[in-house]
Amino acid sequence: MTATTVKISLKRTPQDYKWTKPPEWCPGCGHFGILQALLQVFAELDMDPTRTVLVSGIGCSSRLPHYVRTVSAHTIHGRAIPFAIGLKLANPSLEVMVVGGDGDLFAIGGNHILGAGRRNVDFTVLLMDNAVYGLTRGQAGPTLPLGMQPKALSKPNPHADLNPLLVALASGFTFIARAYSYDIKYTAKIIKEAVLHKGSAIVQIFSPCVTYNNIMTREWYEKRVYKLDNEPGWDPVVHDEKEDYEKRKRAIEKILDPDRFALGILYKNELVPTFEERYASMYDPNYPKMPPAIQPVEKDGRSVIDFYRLMADRLL
């Protein structure tokens, strides 16, 4: 998160971040909790709605930006991450956040997770994970375990599940966390940390689909989740580069646990330079001051580029 997003004025309330229309999700859908948590975080951080951009793909989850009073883009299935990266790199002073489902972010859009991690752009990804495709009526999502048969499936799932946080960690995300949507307060706490993180952050939020996932229900999750905060001595933060290997190893151990699902921050490393910082140091020192979206490109209709100097080595 960049310092410019904090505005000195009367602090906004969660209510101030509600858009003009109410959510259209099925009653009881896990996604409500995430929306609620997000509004709380925005209020707590007093985010400027005109500089905060929510980007989503397609899915029940991807509808979330329509319920929030910030700038947003509801794009197409799978492409929220590259869209958000383009937006952020064009104007790094914006606060950019992606929300989407397991299908959107890890099936059709999976390759972009790999691309994003390698760059470590300063943005946040909220994975609203229900292990099914809610919007298209309950088909298997990429996080649905092998052999499971939620009610829309005519046969057990022949695909094994992928582990999104392991993928994100392997790709280079520098903030990896997990939350559970029915625990709104805790979800808000984790989202807030993710937003404040400098670098690419991802939060997997278990968000039950009450209509189609009749197996991975509230009861199912609640039997398995626990909070890392209660683990004595748990410190996911890389304070020194030498610790990185150790911290990753410990994160992986938690992420791989098949029986108990750790909630909380699993890994956090702010020592890795963001893509914006890399760009400024490798390409253009003026980048932070004059990113693409802010640059004047013409004056009275005349291009500001000095063509003759630009092409000096080519003029005869």
Ligand X SMILES: Cc1ncc(C[n+]2csc(CCOP(=O)(O)OP(=O)(O)O)c2C)c(N)n1
Cβ-contact 203, 268 below 8 angstroms: no
Cβ count within 10 A of residue 57: 26
Cα dist from 131 to 40, 251, 265, whole Å:
25, 22, 21
Q: Is 228 in the site for ligand SF4 (CB under 6 A)?
A: no
Q: Is 197 in the site for another protein (CB under 8 A)?
A: no
Q: Of residues 52, 211, 269, 274, which one binds ligand SF4 by CB under 6 A?
A: 211
Q: Is 310 in the site for another protein (CB under 8 A)?
A: yes
Taking the C-alpha atoms of residue 84 and residue 244, their distance in angstroms, rounded to an integer, is: 27
103 binds, among ligand X, another protein, ligand SF4, none (CB under 5 to 8 A by kind): ligand X
Residue with tokens 């009450």: 210
Residue with tokens 């397991």: 102
Q: Which is nearer to another protein, 257 or 284 (CB)?
A: 284
Nearest approach, Cβ of 118 to another protein (angstroms)? 8
Provide CB contacts within 8 A for 185, sequence distance 6+: 37
Per-residue contact string for residues 50-79; x = within reach of another protein by CB under 8 A: xx-x-x--x----x-xx--xxxxxxxx-xx
Q: Radius of gyration over alpha carbons of the chain, in Å?
A: 21
10 binds, among another protein, ligand X, Mg ion, none (CB under 5 to 8 A by kind): none
Q: Which is nearer to Mg ion, 130 or 187 (CB)?
A: 130
Cα dist from 44 to 16, 131, 160, 188, 198, whole Å:
11, 30, 39, 10, 18
Q: Is 281 in the site for another protein (CB under 8 A)?
A: no
Secondary structure (DSSP) of 20-63: SS---SPTT-THHHHHHHHHHHHHHTTB-TTTEEEEE-SSSGGG
Q: Is 314 in the site for another protein (CB under 8 A)?
A: yes
> Do strands 95-101 and 175-180 pair parallel, antiparallel, or not at all (unpaired)?
unpaired
Q: Is 134 in the site for ligand X (CB under 6 A)?
A: yes
31 binds, among Mg ion, another protein, ligand SF4, none (CB under 5 to 8 A by kind): ligand SF4
Q: Of residues 102, 122, 183, 276, which one binds ligand X by CB under 6 A?
A: 102
Q: Is 208 in the site for ligand X (CB under 6 A)?
A: no
Q: Is 141 in the site for Mg ion (CB under 5 A)?
A: yes
Q: Is 70 in the site for Mg ion (CB under 5 A)?
A: no
Taking the C-alpha atoms of residue 138 and residue 155, their distance in angstroms, rounded to an integer, is: 13
Q: Which residues bind ligand SF4 (CB under 6 A)?
A: 25-26, 29, 31, 60, 130, 134-135, 209-212
Q: Which residues bind ligand X (CB under 6 A)?
A: 58-61, 77, 100-104, 128, 130, 132-136, 141
